[in-house]
Structure 1
């Protein structure tokens, strides 16, 4: 593996900067980013949707860290939040596309990212985790580490950009025409003195500058500029008016309105967001004034681009209000929000509320796949496409569908997501007019599949080692679940269930067992009250029979509230049993915070577990 990584690190990104052929994925690095953004903007404008797919340094480092069937929306979000804050995005594939009947027109881009601290401000130079298994997979898929590390596109989130601008100051200009005088404000004696002082200084400075423009000795002109304090803003003379408050800024702008025909004021901010001075720039004509103001605007835009970096692509997608298509919306958009918008909120309600302001329409192909029974168990995109091609006649006119052996695998996944979405829309008979209208409202045909309001609907794969029951998904209250750990290692769910059946009368009723990870299992009671009875028995001093023997050997049990507390406190140990132990020992647990658990329901099905090999 090390040799493979070295070859990737020493390799060259020959494709970067080369103009793509029709239908080819555009590989974008720092070298060709500006040109690619302009192309992306044009493609986005003529498209109806935009698909996104992320390549990350990892997602979930332990099996139970993944969203599981017994997770509520809250716990599933907390797991995704932990992953987004820990791992890093190295590739961001985005594909504006249109669907007209059976014709799919896609414009795929693959942006190579790296969180480089280009402004030397400690942002966004995160320390981030990398899973070795993910690193191996990326090497095998043809990932170019050389392009990532040396030519990856950096960025700042919106929150980081605001902090950076406040820290170093962001020069913006303001002409007197932007200032509206408040006639109700009465000037004090101090105001009058300040205005008269700077007015006299400005008049003398203008006269001196004009004299220096006449034919005089260069040395004399230089000495005059030095004495008066004149410097050059590009080729134009300027002077600074120091101010001590925002009121003095307004007074200076008010006074400078008298000189609007030959002066342009520029606000120079100080670190922290306040104003350091008002810079007065002398212009030679109206044409020169217009040119200067245009230069200021262009300079401000260039500076903003430096701050934004790759986030400019995120801003374009958000501003377009186009529906965003994803294959794993919860995981993808916690990463997107964390890296490019702001630190993630503490709970799912705040997250979905804030996310909807940035991306009002999110479509997850997993939600569409739920409507085709056999696809509920499929998490692999090529496998889903293969199944649909073999079982449904739904032709999609796409120039080329990339194959797995075509170099960097991830950059081709984005095209397959578009193709899968188009295929599902055709099979589910979502009409051609389901695309957004001019007012950016999502058509009713797609509304039921939009956004991620029900995160428990993530399609998952069954675990063949454990069978609880088959059939449709059944709602199970969190009250009916008990977490069990401390049993002998190597036990299967069937063996553990058999032992429990013989241990106490509470297990004479129908119940199920699921192994969560090697350290912990979950017991599902079908009848109300049985979970509480079992927990009381386990903790009772007069426990007897084989259950007593199991408890003496270390068996422990707890309710769903403890599991929710584990996620809320961020106790992400490798084994769930260790996290549950720590949560039970933590004195800072609020029963009030856990009181909502009893009112929550989850969706449980043995046929809906995650297929971890495909994630």
Structure 2
């Protein structure tokens, strides 16, 4: 049994090891999708999503943070973690979006991975999306080493519009579409409206009669052309049509009202360049079957146009409409980017984000939170490290089957981002096997809005330090100072220190403050956040306030003379909420303290302005006037 375990583990690690020389990656043909084959892949992935039980997603962006302190830190609360992820999502661009519909059948993983290459461009000339975005050099170097083709991404990457952008640009990106009438009842119609409707009815009637008059079919071509010119008859495809110019949306509805009595015509709304409707085109059909055929053609044309407008968001909408559970490895960062790019601008708070996202993706499972149930306190941010961790401690072999994928290509001979999403699917299968969780539960998956009972408690967790959404909530003021520590302390016991020389170590900072005040005789922990600032955590309550008061009063002359500055955790919260994202945390905290001083000064000034000096002797008496 031991030999079998080691053999299965070795096979699993070899198939996906990131630095294995590239030869093993060609085992799986990851579907690489660009603008040129997007339509084909869209139809294919729609079928795979319908057939699957879960959908794994993974994003490759141009960066995550611009300085060390702006990444997720152990002492960040859930709200602070969201604010950091929100900034990264708004700042960096998605270059690759991998999607993998998959199902689990005992120890078999049936998966269909796709890797979509994205690039925002204003293809529809609406001023959107055309984002300007930042790039983190280490991220670009990393994906370049993996063989990422930047030229293909920029030239052939798939563009998109978010739901909010599509709604805002709706009038500018309309295609000819069948009109629907919402005109008010005749009782509320004005005299001018009634005259306008009668004129349109008369005009359409004469035009229709001219088109259907059999006696004029043998007319001379010149006479027929002149007659069409005079009657304003044109052709829509092979069908006669009449264009009616309109001046307002009210007139559009009046024209549609006047066409109700003509059962063999179909009205089309032709959009204007600046928005709104420019022309109502009346198309004459030869029969009811021909009318239904035209309406079907128009619907297909509108669907094709909408797909072109939405671009890659069509895939996001397919995932959303399926209501299938979505599996990720870093859900907070991934879904803040998804919300920002494909749904709408990110809300200001975590609760608003969770509510907004839940309407689109009701069930999100993060394998990092599932792995915490195994007792892991390691920081397993890397998918391959997480898999290696499981393989070295547990026996959970998974057979991967890709029945619908094309033959692997040269692009698959190196590790592409599509392998990440396949690895997430495998990691999810392994964790479920180890935890004895049945992820299949067809009776739950077949009903939209439900999850298998064993997985419900792990869904929609966006607090990086939580394991279960249904567990008792952790006090928002509780934080950790070490990534591997289970101990949580109140944020009121946290102090940020800066002003020491650059390049100092944690031990040197601890030696610098030790013995300077009686608070340092108690137990405390200290860690460098970046080269400019350290975080200090007291085990006993009240000591942080004592230290801050001592520094503010100047009683710690030695520390003050050395330029040491300090601030509470509230100042750190203010930095993130106000967006004071400087390269060094010390500079950001200085700005937060300046903001606080200005607010106090303004409050004091406002208070002074409300005070008046009363002297009855100097008042003018009305009796003296």
The residue number in structure 1 matching 2:324 is: 322
From 430, 437, 447, the counterpart of 1:439:
447
Q: CA deviation at 1:169?
A: 3.6
**Kept in 2: contact 1:565–1:583 (CA 8 A):** yes
TM-score relative to the length of structure 1: 0.85
Question: RMSD over aligned Cα, in angstroms?
Answer: 2.7
1:393-422, CA deviations, whole angstroms, 9 ceiling, x for partnerless residues? 22212248x9x9941332211111111110
The residue number in structure 1 matching 2:302 is: 300
The residue number in structure 1 matching 2:508 is: 495
Instruction: Tell me how far apart the structure 2 counterparts of residues 405 and 340 of structure 1 sit (CA, whole Å).
Output: 28
TM-score relative to the length of structure 2: 0.83
Instruction: Tell me how far apart the structure 1 counterparts of residues 422 and 242 of structure 2 sit (CA, whole Å).
Output: 56
From 211, 218, 226, the counterpart of 1:215:
218
The question of 1:224 aligning with 2:227 is answered: yes
Q: CA deviation at 1:427?
A: 0.4
Instruction: Tell me how far apart the structure 2 counterparts of residues 185 and 493 of structure 1 sit (CA, whole Å).
Output: 82
* 386-395 vs 529-538, which moves further: 386-395
The question of 1:452 aligning with 2:461 is answered: yes
1:52-90, CA deviations, whole angstroms, 9 ceiling, x for partnerless residues? 111111111211111111111221111111111111111
**Kept in 2: contact 1:89–1:113 (CA 8 A):** yes
The residue number in structure 2 matching 1:154 is: 159
* 274-283 vs 314-323, which moves further: 274-283
Instruction: Answer with 1 or 2: which has the greater Rg.
Output: 2
Instruction: Tell me how far apart the structure 2 counterparts of residues 66 and 120 of structure 1 sit (CA, whole Å).
Output: 36
Instruction: Tell me how far apart the structure 2 counterparts of residues 433 and 235 of structure 1 sit (CA, whole Å).
Output: 53
Unaligned runs of 5+ in 1: 1-19, 460-466, 592-615
SS at match of 2:489: strand
Q: CA deviation at 1:274?
A: 4.0
**Kept in 2: contact 1:51–1:326 (CA 8 A):** yes
Query: How do residues 162-201 of structure 1 correspond to structure 2 at under 5 angstroms?
Result: 162-174=167-179, 179=181, 185-201=187-203
**Kept in 2: contact 1:230–1:239 (CA 8 A):** yes
The question of 1:559 aligning with 2:568 is answered: yes
* 476-485 vs 378-387, which moves further: 378-387
Instruction: Tell me how far apart the structure 2 counterparts of residues 328 and 409 of structure 1 sit (CA, whole Å).
Output: 18
The residue number in structure 2 matching 1:415 is: 422
Query: How do residues 367-406 of structure 1 correspond to structure 2 at under 5 angstroms?
Result: 367-374=369-376, 376-399=378-401, 406=413
Query: How do residues 254-269 of structure 1 correspond to structure 2 at under 5 angstroms?
Result: 254-260=257-263, 262-269=264-271
Instruction: Tell me how far apart the structure 2 counterparts of residues 270 and 193 of structure 1 sit (CA, whole Å).
Output: 25
- How many residues are matched? 555
The residue number in structure 1 matching 2:239 is: 236
Q: CA deviation at 1:570?
A: 1.4
Instruction: Tell me how far apart the structure 2 counterparts of residues 51 and 389 of structure 1 sit (CA, whole Å).
Output: 21
Unaligned runs of 5+ in 2: 1-24, 403-407, 469-479, 601-625
The question of 1:509 aligning with 2:522 is answered: yes
1:222-272, CA deviations, whole angstroms, 9 ceiling, x for partnerless residues? 222222222222222222334444444333323211112x21112334467
Q: CA deviation at 1:49?
A: 0.3
Q: CA deviation at 1:46?
A: 1.0
Instruction: Tell me how far apart the structure 2 counterparts of residues 146 and 181 of structure 1 sit (CA, whole Å).
Output: 52
The residue number in structure 1 matching 2:434 is: 427
The residue number in structure 1 matching 2:75 is: 70
The question of 1:105 aligning with 2:113 is answered: no
The question of 1:584 aligning with 2:593 is answered: yes
**Kept in 2: contact 1:369–1:375 (CA 8 A):** no
